[in-house]
C-alpha cells in the first residue's frame, strides 16, 4: 500500500495519493542454467484522494529469463513488462494508456 501526502503553507493540504496492488508470479527452471519467469500485477492508484477524476486501474504482465552458468560467478537476467492503464472514472475524453519496459542486468557475485 502506498500513501503520499504533501502539505504547503501557502496552498494548504496538497495531493493525498493512495495506491495498492496485488502481485503474482511463477518461476520455472528450464535447465540447470536457464530460468524463465512470468508475472501479473493488478494496481489501483488514486493520485489524489481529496479530488475526483484521477483514479486509475492497471494490469501489468511481465516475462523474463535468467542465465547462470554452473560454477560461474556471474548471472544475466532480462525482463519485459507491459502495463495497460485505464481510468476508473467516467470521462469520455480520458484515454487508455499502455506502458512498456525492458530491462537487463549482469551481476557478478563476489
Tell me the β-bridge partners of 46: 18, 55
Q: What's residue 12's pLDDT? A: 62
For the chain, the structural domain boundaries read: 19-108
Q: What's residue 14's pLDDT? A: 66
In CATH, what number does 19-108 get? 3.90.1150.210
Cα(44)–Cα(52) distance, rounded to whole angstroms? Answer: 14
Q: What's residue 109's pLDDT? A: 82
pLDDT tens-digit readout, 51-104: 777 788 999 999 999 999 998 999 999 999 999 998 887 777 767 889 999 999
Decide if 6 contacts 15 (C-beta within 8 A).
yes
Instruction: Please state the φ and ψ torsions of residue 79, each to the nearest 5 degrees.
Output: -150, 160
Instruction: Please state the φ and ψ torsions of residue 69, each to the nearest 5 degrees.
Output: -65, 145
- In sequence order, what are the residues at sequence separation of 6 or more whose Cβ sits closer than 8 angstroms to the Cβ of residue 48? 15, 16, 17, 54
Amino acid at each position: 500500500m502506498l500513501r503520499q501526502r504533501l502539505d504547503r503553507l501557502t496552498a494548504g493540504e496538497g495531493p493525498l495519493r493512495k495506491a495498492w496492488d496485488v502481485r503474482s508470479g511463477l518461476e520455472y527452471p528450464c535447465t540447470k542454467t536457464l530460468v524463465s519467469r512470468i508475472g501479473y500485477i493488478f494496481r489501483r492508484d488514486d493520485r489524489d484522494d481529496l479530488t475526483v477524476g484521477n483514479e486509475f486501474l492497471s494490469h501489468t504482465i511481465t516475462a523474463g529469463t535468467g542465465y547462470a552458468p554452473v560454477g560461474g560467478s556471474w548471472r544475466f537476467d532480462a525482463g519485459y513488462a507491459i502495463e495497460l492503464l485505464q481510468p476508473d472514472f467516467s470521462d469520455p475524453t480520458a484515454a487508455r494508456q499502455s506502458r512498456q519496459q525492458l530491462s537487463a542486468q549482469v551481476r557478478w557475485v563476489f
